[in-house]
Amino acid sequence: MIENDFSFAVTTRRAIAVLRGLPFFAVAAADRKWLTTLRGFAVVRPAFPAAKSILPVALAFVCFGFLAGCHSNFVQATLVNRSGAPLRLVQVDYPSASFGTTNLNNAAEYHYRFKIQGSGTVKLNFVDSTGKPHKAVGPELDEGQEGALLITIDESENVLWTTSFAVNK
C-alpha cells in the first residue's frame, strides 16, 4: 500500500482516516485505545457503545419525517380534445405561469401538473384545424388550492371546465 493512498491523523477526541481522498470520520477515546489497525486500514470503534442503538432510532425519525413531512399543493390538469380534428398551439394560462403543447390530436389527452402561486383565472388559447384561433376563460384559482382541472374541447369547439379542488384550510 502506498503511503499517500492511506493516511490517518489522531487528535485528542477525533480520528480522521483518509483513503484515496475520501474522508472517513469516527470518534475515538482520548487515550487511543479504540483505534486499531487491521491489515493496513484504520478501524475506529465507537467511543460510546450506546451509539449502536442510537443510530437506528435516529434513522427511523428521519424516515418518518420524510413520510409525514412537507406536502405541496398541486393541481393535476388534463386537456382533452374531442373536437374531431387536431388542434395546434394549445396553451393554458394560469396564475403566475402557463403550459401547453404544439399539437393535440383528436381524442388525445395532455396531462400537466402545476402549483398555483397567486390568484387569477385560467385561460385557454388554441388554433383549430382550419387555422382559426380560439380563446376561452375558465375558473378562478387561488393560491394553495389542490385537486384536478379537466379541460375538454368538444365537437363545436366549446370548452368545458371541470374542477375538483380540496377545501382550503
User: Is 96 inside a domain boundary?
Assistant: yes
Maximum distance among all Cα pairs of the chain, rounded to whole angstroms = 86
* Residue 72: per-residue pLDDT: 74
* Whether residues 159 and 82 fall in one domain: yes
* Whether residues 161 and 92 fall in one domain: yes
Which portions of the chain are predicted below pLDDT 50? 1-39, 169
* Whether residues 82 and 158 fall in one domain: yes
* Whether residues 145 and 81 fall in one domain: yes
* Residue 84: per-residue pLDDT: 92
* Residue 65: per-residue pLDDT: 62
* Residue 162: per-residue pLDDT: 93
Of 144, 88, 97, 103, the closest CA to residue 122 belongs to 97
* Residue 79: per-residue pLDDT: 95
* Whether residues 140 and 82 fall in one domain: yes
* Residue 55: per-residue pLDDT: 67
* Whether residues 82 and 128 fall in one domain: yes
* Residue 88: per-residue pLDDT: 95
* Whether residues 103 and 151 fall in one domain: yes
User: Is 133 inside a domain boundary?
Assistant: yes
* Whether residues 36 and 101 fall in one domain: no
* Residue 8: per-residue pLDDT: 44
Q: Is 90 exposed, middle or buried (0-12, 13-18, 19+ CB in 10 A)?
A: buried
* Residue 31: per-residue pLDDT: 39
- Quickly count: other Cβ atoms within 10 Å of residue 7's Cβ: 11
* Residue 157: per-residue pLDDT: 87
User: Is 150 inside a domain boundary?
Assistant: yes
* CA 138/CA 117 separation, integer angstroms: 17
Number of domains, the chain: 2
CB 20, CB 1: distance < 8 Å: no
* Whether residues 86 and 138 fall in one domain: yes
Structure confidence by residue, pLDDT tens digits, 127-159:
999 999 999 999 999 888 899 999 999 998 899
User: Is 102 inside a domain boundary?
Assistant: yes
User: Is 57 inside a domain boundary?
Assistant: no
User: Is 18 inside a domain boundary?
Assistant: yes
Q: Provide the residue range defining the domain that includes 22.
A: 1-48
User: Is 22 inside a domain boundary?
Assistant: yes
